[in-house]
Every structure is written in C-alpha cells, then in structure tokens.
Amino acid sequence: MMSLPRALALSLRQLADPAVLRVLFKSTGLTLVLFAIGGLALWRGLESLISSYVTSDYGAELGGVVALALTMLGGWLLFRVVALAVLQFFADEIVLAVERAHYPDSAQSARVLSFRADLANSLLGAGRALLFNLLAAPVALILLFTAIGPAVVFFTVNAVLLGRELTEMAWLRHQKSPETISPVASGERIMLGAVVTAFLMVPFAGLLAPIIGAAAGTHLVQTRLRKAEV
C-alpha cells in the first residue's frame, strides 16, 4: 500500500514533467491575473468612494493605499480558495500526467471530463471552500483571545476541505456513478490536506502546493483502486 509520504515524494519528483509545468504556469498565471483584476477593481471602487467623501487632493491616494492593504489581506485570506478553484479547472491535465507516467492502463480507461464539468467542479469547490471558511470565522473570532486558536480553526477546516478536493480531482475520472464514494480513507485525505495547507502558508511554495497535492491525491486514489481489484 502506498503511504502518503511516498505519494508526496513521487509528486515532487514529477514537478519537472513538461505536462505538470504547463499546468503550473497556467494555474499560477491565471491566479495572479484574477488577483490583479480584483485589486484594480477594488482600487477604482474605493478611489471613487473615498473621493466622494474626502474633498482634499489626497482622496485618490488614500483610496489607493486602502485598496492595496485590502487586496493584500484578501490575497492572504483567499489565496487557497482561488488557487484551488483555478487548479480544479486544469485538474484533468495533472491527473492525466500522473496516470500516464505511473498508471498507463488506468489513463486509457478513465473518462474525460468536459469543459462544462471542469468549470462546474471548479466553481463548486471554490464555493464550498469559501462557505466553510466563512462559517469558521465566528469560531475563530471567539478563540481570538487564545492567539493560536484562529490559526488552528482555519488550518483544520482547510485541511479537511483540501484533502477532499485534491482526491476528488482524480476520483471523478474513475467514478462509475455519482453515488460511488472515493476509495481514499477520510484520515488519509485529511493528512494530505494538512500537508498541502501547511505548504500554502509558505511563500512561493504555496504556488506549488495545489499541484503537488493533486498529484499526490491521484497516487492515493490509484493505489486504493488497485487494492480493490486484488
């Protein structure tokens, strides 16, 4: 049985694969573009709003500073949601690259998801992540006096969410019916999610984290599928 450390090691080793690098460049570029567009829209909106209340010449500058601060804060809070949503849109490419390199027979028998299905999965995953992080916010506020409490709450929520999403990316290609659940155990999914969540907190490494997680999730799904066939 393939352990999570071995799945992660194989995923790191495949980062030089051209197919994986293409997804990395596309997903990273699109994530940064989305943040840039959001930041620019926020800048213009706040500049207009503040200028309507502040008559001095500093209204536009103040709007820009506030917009920059809010964009940076929003980027830190929402990076996981946006990065995962973007990656889910390209998930098929990552899963296929891993399967072709390590499980060629499975790659041939898997179903190809349509553009519409990829988009729906991407939006659904992002919505789910945003919803549960918002639901966790009041709990984090209650634990604010503990200093470490909010970090633990958000880490736990995102570990559970990411573990599920990263294994579902691979499982959807082999799922026989909507009722069939993923063969990866919940504990293993959570551990994968915890590792990827920790990576997301590290500058620059956070850009690689979803790619590594999706590849590792594919290894875990394939291992379980093979075990079930024995």
The size of the chain, in residues, is: 230
In angstroms, the CA 171 to CA 182 distance is 6
> Which tokens belong to 23?
């997804």
In angstroms, the CA 163 to CA 194 distance is 7
> Which tokens belong to 117?
């299905």
- CA 42 to chain CA mean position, Å: 23
Instruction: Write out the chain's pLDDT in tens, 230 residues.
Output: 458 999 999 999 999 999 899 988 888 888 788 777 876 776 677 667 766 666 555 655 666 676 666 666 666 666 667 777 787 788 888 888 999 999 988 877 777 777 787 778 778 877 888 888 888 888 888 888 887 888 888 889 989 988 998 898 888 888 877 778 888 999 999 999 999 989 888 877 777 888 999 999 999 999 988 877 65
Q: Given this model, what pLDDT does residue 77 score?
A: 62
Q: Given this model, what pLDDT does residue 148 score?
A: 87
In angstroms, the CA 98 to CA 216 distance is 9
Contact 93, 29 (CB under 8 A): no
Q: How many CA atoms lie within 13 A of 174 on its CB side?
A: 25
In angstroms, the CA 98 to CA 69 distance is 39
Measured at the alpha carbon of residue 200, what is the angle toward residues 202 and 161, in degrees to the nearest 5? 155
Q: Given this model, what pLDDT does residue 60 score?
A: 59
DSSP letters spanning 138-158: HHHHHGGGGSSHHHHHHHHHH
- Mark 79-88 as b/e (b = at least 16 C-beta within 10 Å): bbbbbbbbbb
For residue 16, the 8-state DSSP code is: G
DSSP letters spanning 72-97: HHHHHHHHHHHHHHHHHHTHHHHHHH
Instruction: Give the domain ranges of the chain.
Output: 4-229
Q: What is the largest CA-CA distance in the chain?
A: 75
